[in-house]
Amino acid sequence: MSDSLMATYNRFPVAFQRGEGAWLWDTDGKRYLDALSGIAVCGLGHAHPAVRQALCDQAGKILHTSNLYRIPLQEQLGERLIQASGMDRVFFSNSGAEANEAAIKIARRFGNRKGVTNPAIVVMEQSFHGRTLATLSATGNRKVQAGFEPLVQGFLRVPFNDMKALHAVAENSPNAVAVLVEPVQGEGGIIIPSETYLNEIRELCDRQGWLMMLDEIQTGMGRSGRLFACQHNAVLPDVMTLAKGLGNGVPIGACLARGPAAEILGPGNHGSTFGGNPLVCAAGLAVLDSIEQDQLTARAEALGSKLLADFADALSGVAGVEEIRGLGLLIGIELDRPCGELVGRALEHGLLINVTAERVVRLLPPLIMSDEEADQLTETLSSLLKDFLEAA
Ligand SMILES: Cc1ncc(COP(=O)(O)O)c(C=O)c1O
């Protein structure tokens, strides 16, 4: 591998040359079933005809102008997102971390305007919000933060799925102004909170005058079985962040806001050179069209249920499997031991998976995966898991 790149990733010595649907081919022509979607990005799979067409057409017209001018495709995508989410306004960024940066800035300015000294955002243990300085400070994982001190101040941390802890903050921390939370913790190990957690956070935020900010960067764009995971709870946040699946592979993020939160940022407060340029917005529109036309949120829900049931069958009674859980196509198989080496073994067997939180096999397959492909995924992975657990 070339020394030209900073050593920020532990890469496998495999390079993919092309993809189609749920399949990838490497430079030697070997075929792989993709159960990771580039970490929840390619929800429509690879080389999706609608995305390809939109990008090719747009590349032949105009790629970039500047946010100094109107960008009609950005306005169209903004309209579509606010209609679908019930939010009022959108700021477009290039990544998830930047979408969260916008959310953090909104909360800070919201607090400062209310006259709160040193406004703080309540964040969760085991959360993941990105790698910029503010978002790594918000992230509940010391490994992500270590060596980058001083961290950005202004975050109060509580355990995930713990309303008592949130109520304690409400009682004891007058400088709290917002809560930032993932509807399902992705990097944290596919941790699904109680069914009423988001509703209870909404109630508390209403009572306290806090902003409820949902990081839907991994859970959004249909993956959970709803377009946005908070729609399982019929909850409307004040701020919602998106990225990953929104562009199916082109870098786009979005910070959506509602009510007073949507009016916080004005000219000169925030910006991005590339954010929401014509190319990425053309992709975002094609993604939304395809999710709607092909009813991919319903597909994610059905396929997720099938995979959970099939894994439960295939792994029933297997010692070492602690829990199989999921919401739509956010699936975690938790083992009783670290299992990072499974990723390489799966790769050898032509399967892309991921391990997070050391002991959780994470599956984020594309929403377009067929039942036959899902059967192949269950078969290959179950057999790898059994071998791994028996050998240890
Ligand atoms: C929930 C969540 N928030 C934020 C991010 C950061 O997004 P990005 O890597 O696009 O900056 C991620 C990425 O994994 C994520 O899963």
pLDDT tens, 134-147?
999 999 999 999 99
Each residue's pLDDT tens digit, 365-379 = 999 999 999 999 999
The predicted pLDDT at position 389 comes to: 98
Question: Closest Cα to atom 7, ligand 1: which residue?
Answer: 96
Point out the ligand 1 atom lying closest to the alpha carbon of residue 251.
Answer: 10
Q: Do 309 and 214 meet the contact criterion of CB atoms below 8 Å apart?
A: no
pLDDT for res 71: 98
Residue 347's closest CA among 8, 11, 1? 11
User: What is the 171 CA–ligand 1 centroid distance (Å)?
Assistant: 31
Burial of residue 391, with CB atoms counted within 10 A of its CB: 0-12 exposed, 13-18 middle, 19 or more buried: exposed
Pocket test for ligand 1, best of 217, 280, 354, 360 (most atoms within 8 A of CB): 217
Residue 330 backbone phi and psi in degrees, to 5: -110, 100
Write down the pLDDT at residue 342: 98
Distance from residue 372's CA to the centre of ligand 1 (Å): 30
pTM beyond cutoff 0.85: yes
Residue recorded with tokens 């209870």: 200
Residue with tokens 């709870």: 233
Dist CA 275 CA 50 (whole Å): 22
Q: How far apart are the first and last CA of the chain?
A: 31
* pLDDT of the residue at 130: 98
CA distance 165 to 139: 17
Ranges of residues in the chain with a pLDDT under 70 are: 392
Q: What is the pLDDT of residue 392?
A: 65
Using an 8 Å Cβ cutoff, are 139 and 129 in contact?
A: yes
The set of protein residues with a Cβ atom below 6 angstroms from ligand 1 is 39, 95-97, 100, 128-130, 182, 186-187, 215, 217-218, 243
What residues are labeled active site?
128, 215, 244
Plot region of 359 (φ>0 → left; ψ -120 to 50 → alpha; else → beta): alpha
